[in-house]
């Protein structure tokens, strides 16, 4: 028996894309459309919202054509279809038309579950499009984006890009595309820094990371960037507090695998690895000293002092000193 090509798999009669990550949902649609147009350049694509799919609409769109043209029918937010339209979809799923690919995009929750269950029962090809809420998931996404282009990026570069861009997958994908187009050879952290330094250094967490690593000058530079770009001082004190507390939690925890420690301490596994690297040189007295410095900065930022920026600078310097085991007392 001949093996199916990748395009034949994609051109299953019915594809259901499940989840709430818009970029992945759009890519699921684009993949089907590309496969269809590779098979037939004149493929007709109909991309519909629930309010455009009334009872009878699906039957009309999937009825046989005199020209036997290939067609892709996309129904977005299928969980919002009316009950009568869901009946039409179920009827179609029992006998899909030839040369037509139906793509249903479904949020995946309890709402409208009947149409999702019916598609699965009918053997639909399923594409997972989950919302990526965890930093580790976004990091894996960036790594996969680089792999898909055939290019190499160091782990530090991937992490720096996530730190710089944040949670928007479209922006992360766009950043990867830009770096791949502009840079030859392996993409490293220095390259990411050159392209996205303004965004990366404006992060309150970058200030905290540099401080707990004992890199006072870099932490102060990041602090000034953050304040200049409008980051609220209270967010910076919060990030400093989280950074120091993470050091304290991990230093007092018993050894173990990152996954076990993550469950015990309430941190993602990727953060366990990062904090382990940051905690070198820290002592229990240093943690206590740094926490007092953060508390004083927090009071200064929230009205207890005349100069919030100076209060933050003092805290950053104190934390960096504590990281080098010279901040006791």
**Predicted confidence (pLDDT) at residue 1 exceeds the cutoff of 50:** no
What tens digit of pLDDT does each residue of 215-235 get?
A: 999 899 889 888 877 777 888
- pLDDT band at 267, cuts 50/70/90? low
269-278 long-range Cβ contacts below 8 angstroms, 24+ apart = 269/136, 270/135, 270/136, 270/139, 271/135, 271/246, 274/209, 275/246, 275/247, 275/250, 276/250, 278/209, 278/212, 278/213, 278/243, 278/246, 278/247, 278/323
Q: Given phi > 0 = left and psi -120 to 50 = alpha, else beta, which region is 246?
A: alpha
Q: Which of the pair, 296 or 306, is modelled with greater confidence?
A: 296
304-312 long-range Cβ contacts below 8 angstroms, 24+ apart = 308/233, 309/227, 309/233, 311/233, 312/223, 312/227, 312/233, 312/236, 312/237
Q: In this structure, which topology does domain 135-196 adopt according to CATH?
A: Helicase, Ruva Protein; domain 3 (1.10.8)
Count Cα neighbours of 287 within 13 Å in the Cβ-side half-sphere: 17
What tens digit of pLDDT does each residue of 138-163 get?
A: 999 999 999 999 999 999 999 888 87
Residue boundaries of the structural domains of the chain: 14-129, 135-196, 204-323
Task: Give dist(CA 18, CA 104) in Å, integer.
Answer: 8
Weakest-pLDDT range from 71-80, 148-157, 221-230, 315-324: 221-230
C-alpha closest to that of 52 among 78, 19, 29: 78
Max avg pLDDT among 95-99, 102-106, 261-265: 102-106
**Predicted confidence (pLDDT) at residue 247 exceeds the cutoff of 60:** yes
Q: In this structure, which topology does domain 14-129 adopt according to CATH?
A: Rossmann fold (3.40.50)
282: its two tokens: 């820290």
- pLDDT band at 24, cuts 50/70/90? very high
C-alpha closest to that of 116 among 94, 89, 88, 97: 89
Q: What are the Cα distances from residue 1, in Å, to 4, 113?
A: 9, 36
Q: Is 204-323 in CATH node 1.10.760.10? A: no
Exposed / middle / buried, residue 260 (Cβ in 10 Å: 0-12, 13-18, 19+): middle
Task: Give dist(CA 19, CA 15) in Å, integer.
Answer: 13
Instruction: Quote the pLDDT of residue 259.
Output: 65
Average pLDDT, the chain: 85
Element (H, E) at 17: strand 14-19
């Amino acid at each position: 028996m001949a093996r199916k090509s990748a395009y034949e798999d994609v051109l299953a009669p019915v594809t259901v894309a499940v989840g709430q990550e818009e970029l992945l949902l759009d890519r699921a649609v684009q993949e089907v459309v590309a496969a269809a147009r590779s098979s037939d350049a004149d493929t007709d694509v109909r991309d519909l919202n629930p309010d455009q799919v009334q009872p009878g609409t699906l039957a009309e769109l999937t009825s046989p054509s005199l020209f036997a043209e290939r067609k892709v029918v996309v129904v977005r937010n299928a969980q919002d279809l009316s009950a009568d339209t869901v009946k039409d979809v179920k009827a179609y799923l029992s006998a899909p038309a030839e040369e037509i690919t139906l793509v249903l995009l479904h949020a995946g929750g309890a709402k409208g579950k009947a149409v999702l269950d019916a598609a699965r029962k009918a053997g639909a090809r399923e594409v997972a499009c989950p919302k990526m809420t965890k930093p580790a998931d976004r990091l894996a996404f960036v790594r996969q984006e680089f792999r898909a282009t055939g290019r190499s990026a160091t782990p530090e570069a991937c992490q720096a890009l996530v730190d710089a861009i944040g949670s928007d997958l479209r922006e992360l994908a766009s950043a990867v595309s830009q770096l791949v187009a502009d840079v030859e050879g392996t993409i490293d952290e220095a390259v990411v820094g050159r392209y996205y330094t303004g965004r990366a250094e404006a992060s309150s967490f970058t200030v905290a990371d540099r401080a707990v690593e004992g890199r006072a000058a870099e932490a102060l530079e990041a602090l000034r960037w953050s304040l200049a770009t409008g980051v609220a001082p209270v967010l910076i004190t919060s990030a400093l507090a989280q950074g120091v507390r993470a050091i304290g939690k991990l230093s007092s925890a018993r050894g173990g695998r990152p996954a076990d420690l993550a469950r015990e301490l309430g941190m993602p596994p990727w953060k366990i690895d990062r904090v382990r690297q940051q905690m070198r040189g820290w002592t229990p007295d240093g943690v206590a000293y740094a926490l007092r410095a953060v508390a004083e900065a927090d009071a200064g930022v929230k009205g207890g002092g005349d100069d919030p920026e100076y209060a933050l600078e003092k805290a950053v310097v104190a934390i960096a000193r504590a990281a080098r085991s010279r901040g006791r007392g």
